[in-house]
Every structure is written in C-alpha cells, then in structure tokens.
Amino acid sequence: IYICMIVLLCGLTLIGGAYKSVNESEKITSQGHQATAYITRVSEYEVYDNDGNISDARDIYIKYEINGVSYKNMIKKAYMYASEHDIGKPVEIYYDGNDPNIISVPDDVKSKVSVKLPLGIVISAIPIVVFLFFTIKYFAQKKPQTENQESDF
C-alpha cells in the first residue's frame, strides 16, 4: 500500500505541475501584453539524473522588442520543440507589463501540459485501480463465507 501511495503522489505532483504552469501563464497572459519574439539560438544537451539515466533537454534563446527596447530571454528546459533550423522563426509570447523580462510562451505551456497532465492522470490511476481491485477481491472473498453459513431452523 505504501508503494501505491508513493506512485499516487508522483502522479498528483505531475498534475499539480501542469496546473501550476497553466496558472502562472494565465497570470501573465491575462494582462494582454503580447509580443513576437524570435528564436536566436537553441542549445540541446543531455541531462543525467541521480540514477544515471540520460534525458535530452533544450534551452531556447529568444529576442523580442517592446516599446523600442530590446530584450533577451531563455526558455529553460523547453517542452516545445525547436532546433537549429528554427533560428529566426517567430514565437508568440506574453509579457508582464511591469517587467517585460517575465514572459509566458503559450506554445511551451501547451506542450508542458500535454505531457504532464496525461502522464499524471495515468500514473495516479494505476494505484487507484490496484487498490480498488484488491479491495473488491477482498470483499468478494468475504461475502461467500457469510452466505454459506446455514441456519439451524
């Protein structure tokens, strides 16, 4: 049961991460300050976790102009796809009216949610299904024992 709880918490964490991404993005996009940024560089690299597993990651560097002032920013460990071939391509961004360095990239948020949310739901469902299976199995075995007892009437 402890393993089920840990797996459930992992799934709920992924769902929470997707919700957090959407919530943070909506705070910025609700201000309505939209701009077009251009990809200036894409840096792809491998990341090693604590277990020694390798995964690919990419940072996307963008440049945009707001009220005649040029800004540079980086989408760290981007979920949206971009490669060296995409340099110079436009990317829709939203920025904070008080600080244009704080941005939201709708394409990255959509990609992040499309990965984290379904994965979180599936991972959360596994321990729930296992728990329900064993609970139903347990009560199904208990029920025939009480029905098979004959009365002395």
| Predicted confidence band of residue 46 (pLDDT cuts 50, 70, 90) | confident
Regarding predicted confidence, which is higher, 87 or 54?
Answer: 87
Sequence-ordered alpha helix ranges (H) in 51-152? 106-147
Question: How confident is the model over 142-152, as a mean pLDDT?
Answer: 57
What pLDDT, on the 0 to 100 scale, is given for residue 113? 83
Q: Which residues of 84-96 are buried (b: 16+ CB within 10 A; e: fewer)?
A: eeeeeeebebbbe
Residue 49: pLDDT above 80? no
**Average predicted confidence (pLDDT) for the chain:** 85
Regarding predicted confidence, which is higher, 115 or 74?
Answer: 74
What's the CA gap between 58 and 75, in Å, rounded? Answer: 8
